[in-house]
Amino acid sequence: MSDSPRPPRPRLPLRERKKLHTRRTIADAAFALAVEHGVDGVLVEEIAERAFVSPRTLSNYFPSKEAAIVAAGEDDLSLLADALLERPADESPITSLRTLLSAGVRGWTPDEIVALRAKERLIDEHPALLPHRMAQYDGLEDAIRVAIAQRMGLDPETAPHPRLVAGAAVSVVKTAIRVWVRQEGDEPSIADMVESGFDDLEAGLVPD
Amino acid sequence: MSDSPRPPRPRLPLRERKKLHTRRTIADAAFALAVEHGVDGVLVEEIAERAFVSPRTLSNYFPSKEAAIVAAGEDDLSLLADALLERPADESPITSLRTLLSAGVRGWTPDEIVALRAKERLIDEHPALLPHRMAQYDGLEDAIRVAIAQRMGLDPETAPHPRLVAGAAVSVVKTAIRVWVRQEGDEPSIADMVESGFDDLEAGLVPD
DNA sequence: AGTAATCTTGCGTCTTCGGCAATTCGTTGA
DNA sequence: TCAACGAATTGCCGAAGACGCAAGATTACT
């Protein structure tokens, strides 16, 4: 373990960090209240109050109550993108993604996992949330696509391959989460499911 | 061409057909007006009027103006599901999907293709529409997943494989559309792109 | 034909979304 | 350190939208 001179992680200016914090606070408040009272049982006013901002400010951060709720617990996509770019240049995209995504998932704390389950249940119960969660997955896909295209020296907009890889990888994560949420206990873990999902992908999706 | 005794396609009762028709009329009106005046340049009242229903009725069909706009031109998922179940039992899911999806896409009329391009542009310009389009793709994925699981005798809820296959197949379609919309001319066709997307998938998504 | 089930609609109400302008807070350069 | 600039927060307010409810119209069933 050499302490490699970590490329200068440009520390965010205070203003940006504050924005991030506000955004998270709002999302967490929205999510907690939604779990407690149901999606339509909570007013944006209440969410704003719990997050110590005005309703007007909440509007600046999220275009809708639903978007705020779903945004809770989302992890930072720029980190994933950075990590993707730092993988060995000769590694295949799928391998990079397998490594990073399964590690990322494995790194979730028990609290985060509990929250995830709650979030899934909430979404199942409130169809109005679903579009926003799907848009979130699409955002993840975007981040992956752009990073992969960059790694491969392709145009992120028009190259099909990075899009496919990103879409498939996101499907693996989505599948792992959805199946995991529906199963009885906590085993197999989400990370295990991500791994086997990638196995399936790399085998060309042939049944068994 | 033997006229195979097509399993009795249960003709929909009048009421259902009427509902379908209303739904389409509303969606088409919403889409047309949105293209013309922009998403926020059109009132639900105007959409309702053009679709010969009351605004209140529009609410019964769609939970939001955005959902109505995006619903325009969506094709019937039950048809795809039926078709999937009618494929030879020994065919692999991926092969079935390749066949049906590329045929489906190839069957789009020029008008539908023009509309598709307009729809994509509209969504690009109006981020509020994106979540709803994503939810649409998720609906397609659901239909595929359930049919595949049924074909394979698996539980649609908890079996990972059908979810993965469905997700990957939808990614192929999504990719084909998005790339096609961004390219200069109309060639290669969307159907060609679907085919090569499946090639890529079946090869395990290895780069070239 | 007559009854039951389902759709449509109008009305009223509550909520949300976002423009605008004033204020507060963070950043930057001297 | 301080001043000047840029950015975020907030209050106010109006325009729409979403939906419960109940009455009337339409379709389905026997």
CA–CA min distance B192, chain A (Å): 12
Mean predicted confidence (pLDDT) in B93-113: 96
Give the pLDDT confidence score for residue A70 in this predicted structure.
98
Contact call for residues B99 and B87 (beta carbons, < 8 A): yes
Give the pLDDT confidence score for residue A172 in this predicted structure.
98
Q: What percent of chain B has pLDDT over 90?
A: 86
Instruction: Give the pLDDT band (50/70/90) at residue A11.
Output: low
Give the pLDDT confidence score for residue B32 in this predicted structure.
97
Report the mean per-residue pLDDT for chain A. Answer: 93
Q: What percent of chain A has pLDDT over 70?
A: 95
Give the pLDDT confidence score for residue B187 in this predicted structure.
84
Structure confidence by residue, pLDDT tens digits, B141-183: 999 999 999 999 999 999 999 999 999 999 999 999 999 999 9
Res A21 pLDDT > 60: yes
Q: How far is the CA of A100 from the C1' of D28 (A)?
A: 57
Structure confidence by residue, pLDDT tens digits, B15-36: 789 999 999 999 999 999 999 9
Q: What is the largest CA-CA distance in chain A?
A: 54
Structure confidence by residue, pLDDT tens digits, A88-134: 989 999 999 999 999 999 999 999 999 999 999 999 999 999 999 99
Nucleotides of chain D touched by protein CB (<7 A): 7-13, 16-21, 27-29
Res A80 pLDDT > 80: yes
Question: Tokens in use for A21?
Answer: 């914090």
Give the pLDDT confidence score for residue B4 in this predicted structure.
40
CA distance A125 to A38: 9
Single-letter amino acid code for the residue at B33: L
Structure confidence by residue, pLDDT tens digits, B3-20: 444 444 455 677 789 999
Res B207 pLDDT > 70: yes
Res B193 pLDDT > 90: yes
Cα Rg of chain A, angstroms: 19
Give the pLDDT confidence score for residue A123 in this predicted structure.
96
Sign of CA dihedral A165, A171, A172, A173: positive
Among residues A62, A55, A46, A80, the alpha carbon closest in space to that of A135 is found at: A62
Res A14 pLDDT > 90: no
Question: Tokens in use for B155?
Answer: 């539980």
Single-letter amino acid code for the residue at B147: A
Res B1 pLDDT > 50: no
Show residues, CB within 7 A, near nucleic chain D. A 15, 18-19, 22, 52-57, 60-61, 128; B 13-16, 18, 42-45, 56, 59, 63-66
Q: What percent of chain B has pLDDT over 70?
A: 94
Question: Tokens in use for B35?
Answer: 């293209």
CA distance A94 to A169: 8
Whether residue A201 and residue B203 make contact (CB cut-off 8 A), yes or no, is no
Res A13 pLDDT > 90: no
Instruction: Give the pLDDT band (50/70/90) at residue B107.
Output: very high
Contact call for residues B71 and B23 (beta carbons, < 8 A): yes
Whether residue A197 and residue B160 make contact (CB cut-off 8 A), yes or no, is yes
Residues in chain A: 208
Res A145 pLDDT > 80: yes
Instruction: Give the pLDDT band (50/70/90) at residue A41.
Output: very high
Res A188 pLDDT > 60: yes
Mean predicted confidence (pLDDT) in A166-171: 98
Whether residue A164 and residue B197 make contact (CB cut-off 8 A), yes or no, is yes
Give the pLDDT confidence score for residue B11 in this predicted structure.
59
Instruction: Give the pLDDT band (50/70/90) at residue B190.
Output: very high
CA distance B143 to B78: 7
Q: How far is the CA of B55 from the C1' of C2 (A)?
A: 33
